[in-house]
A = this chain, B = another copy of it.
Amino acid sequence: MNNFNFYSPTEFVFGKGRAKETGFYVKKYGGTKVLIHYGGGSALRSGLVDTVKESLTAEGIAFAELGGVQPNPRDTLVYKGIELCRSEGVDLILAIGGGSVIDSAKAIAMGVPYEGDFWDFYSGKHAEKALPVGTVLTIAAAGSEGSGDSVITKEDGMLKRGTGSDAIRPKFSMLDPALTQTLPAYQTACGATDIMAHVFERYFTNTKEVEITDRLCEAVLMTMVKETPRVIADPNNYDARANIMWAGMVAHNNIVGVGREQDWNSHNIEHELSALYDCAHGAGLAVIFPAWMEFVYKHDIMRFAQVAVRVWGVKMNFADPEATALEGIKRFRQFLRSIGMPINFAELGAKEEDIPVLVEKLGIGDGETGGFVHLKAADIAEIYRIAARAEL
């Protein structure tokens, strides 16, 4: 097992009706003037923003507000948020929404106390401080409610880049599964795919002998395999929603990733798809992840056989472990199709002829990316090609 630090200080406030307590937690974590940050309007229409405002007012907390966060959140709104926070004297950023809103809030939180351009943090600089961030989660997907990560898209050139720092881990996150019951099935499935991808990025590793992390990964994956079809069939199934919402946090606060190398190539390869086509990140992952698996599985057939057996319930083929490994990848793709996800470029709205552009934008040139299997530009082009043409 490799040495590691694990630090997940966020207070998670979980359960039905708990968004009403937001004001209490803002106060507990020192907020006196809050920026309420949200997206395209569903948080407004559902009355959630009003609920939160009432709970702030009840605690005597003032607020400014900034809506309009788009999926694949833009740097342009972040600049606007930073300016607003400075002029209003905001001391805590409250994200009401999903991963995009939370990521945007984190970017603003870093930008306010920083004299330079906040984009520095998405170009390799490490953030040492930030305003405190709280979240009220409305979709189980990104895990941003419990992570120190944020991904922002630079509108000029649609460059999608990430950053990570303990300074932007939320102080508290309000997780009310009932808020996700109104989500369309497609968004629910995109979120579920993202959650599973967060686990898979940590599961495929070259570090041996980390049984505890393997088993925790498989625990989250089995939960998703059981619960996702149940919420697709019945959007109001509270218990299934609750399991998925909590699994989404567990999948990404890194408790299922410690002690070993990880591989984030599928996420990076996908980012170019969602940046170019503005598709949902989860839908892009549904197309990319099985393709990546098909490209790399020979690197460690027994690890792919292990997940096939333990998570997908495939019978081990002792005479032909490779067949077991491949059956696991096939089951994953069948699962994605069954919950309504695209499995190839056509279904996603991407074009095979764009592959050179996608590879170019990843910007690895003659180099290679690290991880489970190191990839050169030609390898990534091949993964896009497998993804483009995939069938069941």
Chain A residues at the B interface, C-beta cutoff of 8 Å: 1-18, 177, 208-212, 215-216, 218-220, 222-223, 226-227, 238-240, 242-243, 246-247, 250, 255, 258-259
Pairwise interchain contact B13-A211, C-beta atoms closer than 8 A: no
Q: Are A220 and B227 in contact (CB under 8 A)?
A: no
- B212→A246 contact, CB < 8 A: yes
Known contacts A14-B258, A250-B255, A255-B255, A212 near B243 by CB under 8 Å? yes
Known: A1-B242, A3-B18, A242-B1. A247 touches B13 (CB 8 A): no
- Please tell me if the beta carbons of A220 and B226 are within 8 angstroms of each other in the complex: no
The answer to whether A243 touches B8, judged by C-beta atoms less than 8 angstroms apart, is no
Q: Hey, which chain B residues are within 8 Å of A14, CB to CB?
A: 3-6, 258-259
Provide the bound-state CA to CA distance between A2 and B15, in Å. Answer: 7
The answer to whether A11 and B1 touch (CB under 8 A), given A212-B243, A223-B212, is no
**Contacts A1-B238, A5-B13, A216-B250 known; 11 new A-B pairs at CB < 8 A:** A3-B17, A6-B14, A8-B8, A9-B11, A211-B222, A211-B226, A212-B219, A212-B243, A212-B247, A215-B219, A216-B219
Show 28 residue pairs from A and B whose CB-CB distance is below 8 angstroms, ordered by the A residue: A1-B177, A1-B239, A3-B14, A3-B17, A6-B11, A6-B12, A7-B11, A7-B12, A8-B9, A9-B9, A14-B258, A208-B239, A209-B240, A210-B239, A210-B243, A211-B226, A211-B227, A212-B219, A212-B223, A212-B247, A215-B218, A215-B219, A215-B222, A216-B219, A216-B250, A218-B219, A219-B219, A255-B255
Which residues on the B side are within 8 Å of A247 (C-beta)? 212
- Residues on B with C-beta less than 8 A from A218 are 215, 219
> Is the beta-carbon distance between A246 and B219 smaller than 8 angstroms?
no
Complex CA gap A9/B238 in Å reads 28
Q: Which chain B residues lie closer than 8 Å to A246 at the CB level?
A: 1, 212, 258-259
Compute how far the CA of A230 lies from the CA of B341 in the bound complex, rounded to whole angstroms: 43
CB distance from A208 to the nearest CB of B (A): 8
The distance from the CB of A23 to the nearest CB of chain B, in whole angstroms, is 16
Give A239 to B2 CA distance when docked, in angstroms. Answer: 9
A134 to chain B, nearest CB (A): 14
Contact status of A4 and B11, CB under 8 A, knowing A246-B212, A255-B250? no
Chain B residues near A12 (CB-CB < 8 A): 5-7
Given contacts A12-B5, A12-B6, A14-B5, contact A215 B220 (CB under 8 A): yes
In the bound complex, CA of A302 to CA of B10 (Å) = 35
Residues of B within 8 A of A212 (CB): 219-220, 223, 243, 246-247, 250
Min CB distance A387 to B, Å, is 30
Q: Which residues from chain B contact A4 at a C-beta distance below 8 Å?
A: 14-15
Chain A to chain B: the 6 pairs with minimum beta-carbon distance, closest first: A3-B15, A215-B219, A9-B9, A209-B239, A1-B242, A219-B219
Closest CB in chain B relative to A144 CB, distance in Å: 17
